[in-house]
Structure 1
């Protein structure tokens, strides 16, 4: 029911037109002075309870209350609200219903009153436009009333001035099913208003706005720059300039515009109402074109500044319009801001131009990690003059061993390290926004033995006062016998024995401190894979590293033919005492530990030896996103690390 201001009309069409003009002039004056209440000083609020005000509201309808409180245009809807303010001990606040719904207007200075979209007994109900459609518009005065009961979606109210020609009318009971109404709640004794929304500071720049519901990006339709062109959700593509949104500061919040346009993202026209489509329009310096960002898990709620109860919402498939909708808390209202810039370029480092088939080939790189949350390695082998991909490994960390996923043969190879932003898929799936390093080429030659297999030493890190286990293994080749010298730093390690030996016979002799001679053989069997575990006690007093060298002196294959094997080694990281998963060493495992492990995995965080050992949750000697996930699960009680 939209308020039409007018008094003492006799049905004359001419008089109605005159009064309509006078009404428009009156509202213009009211809008200009909305910051000035009719009574300039508040009186102290009374201790009215909800029960008290409900009785007072219903009494107005029971008696047919019909009082022109402000002495203008008969008993309008707002006269009942003026009387209500005075009943509660506050100065009345004049203006249109549109103004009551906007900002802090209608909330007494210094009070604990608040606004939201949830009805409650004793609240002022405000339709900031058309009472039937719920559209917000400055062209209508709107309508107000008082709530005395709520049952589900049904709101029971008392309202005045309900009948044409709307030149005043008595209080009556009403049953409403409000669309897009705003409620102003008094601070009754014993009630606590919800805490104010905390808005985030956004760094101005160019972003993809990715919806968490379906991964679609906020998109200017066809990237066409004209007033009222739709903004919708569409499959994210970092090459689509219509998805690159420039965020800049506004007088109250932020402006959002497509990269190739000066027009702003806004609700359609001046209709800031629930379900309004979102489009672009010229910058007219209006608050309906401004937005506020509220941080939440996984991104932001983006609220319209003119009505912060309405949130940018995208729950439609491709080409469905983006709308504004009341807060529901779903993922279709959460947007992630992904910087619209490619990740920084990694630079491969620390690699040789030539390797042998028995060597371990590890990957390291330099990179500042900008806009990067995952690194990957892609390996090519040259065949008939063309490089063909032989390996793609995602989620690698510094020191990643290519041998762990690929068996090298003699030939020419090319390697790229990729910095990737996995928050943004390119086109229709499978590819991330990423940047390739310059290709690093290298060759692999047969080892001096002519054998494609090699001994491997793998192990875990260790703590001061703890134990260290090194596993010795071989791939491909089966061994019936193996002799080797074990050389280690005796100032940091003490050899304490072996376990899990594959061979039937074993001889261990200490030659000198720091050097052990070991011999293994089997009379009728040959073995591949893990051969034996070598055990050490860490006697170092401080953090650091300790080198272990295994130098084969004799090896026989499954045919009892003597073959040559190259030496292998392992460098153990020794840390101070640590608890697995407690990366920040605060005595407990928390989400902060998981974040530190993740940042270390992508090269954004340097770790001390103790932190490295604590972060290596799966004990594979490297830090990856899998370690971060295990630590996070441990932090929330879903995993036990040991």
Structure 2
């Protein structure tokens, strides 16, 4: 692959993109990545790779094709450069486009989906002015010095070498099954958690991306891929059971999902593949997905001592086993329980090869803020001495060691509740001022106040 256009040709082509919407890969409408790929495809006949836009500088080999510059206070982009913004933009996915003009204070980009209209094809390629960010990258193609007569003629009839994304046939297999629950810890078991919370959601998101997706054992997921493969081997039946049956169905991608188990301190996921074949893009994307979510305990792990991996290697099935974290680690499981839908979407995106659904480039990554206050009123009658504080915190100033003697009432009417410092607090007014008292420790796994054991009797509403 070479850059076979001059800079003048590249800029002229870039200007033809303005005012129209471009869907290079045929998926999720007019994304920012599509526009940069239109430009790159025109220059080279190839395409840019990356799970997200932010990955472009790192997931492509630009040797001999372009120079990648990281922004500095003195760097000045040039017209036609491809710019890439980091994860602060696009809700973590980054953003990209081409440079229309620039000075040392701002630059103007030609781009799509900055305002979020790309997925629904309501936002065409347009000019947007940006200030600089230290983590921006600019990719400057090594243009051809002079255009040939042939290339000038081709410019008149150029059509991008794009193709609609063709859906894959995918199998998602939840680990264990039948009477085998898998590992058990932290209030759940491997078999049931994956079947209820992860596999169906991964299937849902992959279907949204246009793939045909089956769950092993059907919608009930009432089979065990390992047990079925072993049964087929015992019978000498290499067509009808487990991985041998999978081979007959001609799946393009097979993903088996598990939760690891070890000491309580072990944490993070990893991807297991057959040692017969090197890791492919799907394996690498899933590994990156794990890094960004539960973390990883090790890199991609080629194995020759696992039945399904060995059979997949012999039969040339595109298979991997994904350990999604440790069921024996409280942090891993708390993350998966609280974020199972988000995690499933990220995992589906890794299998898909790009994020599912797209994001608005102009939407900076939101800081994760958890609700800590609820405007729920009620009555609380303590059955023990509880401190009165000026703020809902264990560090709040104590004005009394007993709320009953302080307020001189048996039942306290509170105005709202607060979650802080591992406790639930009520807020009430006494003597014209606002005070707080803890009513219980937070012990419920889902941190729901109505599931807690209070230090007294609580009734909601006045």
Same fold by TM-score, threshold 0.5 exceeded? no
More helix, by proportion: 2
Q: Which has the higher contact order (CA 8 A, sep 6+)?
A: 2
Larger radius of gyration: 1
The TM-score normalised by the length of structure 2 is: 0.26
- State the TM-score, normalized to the length of structure 1: 0.19
Which structure has greater strand proportion? 1
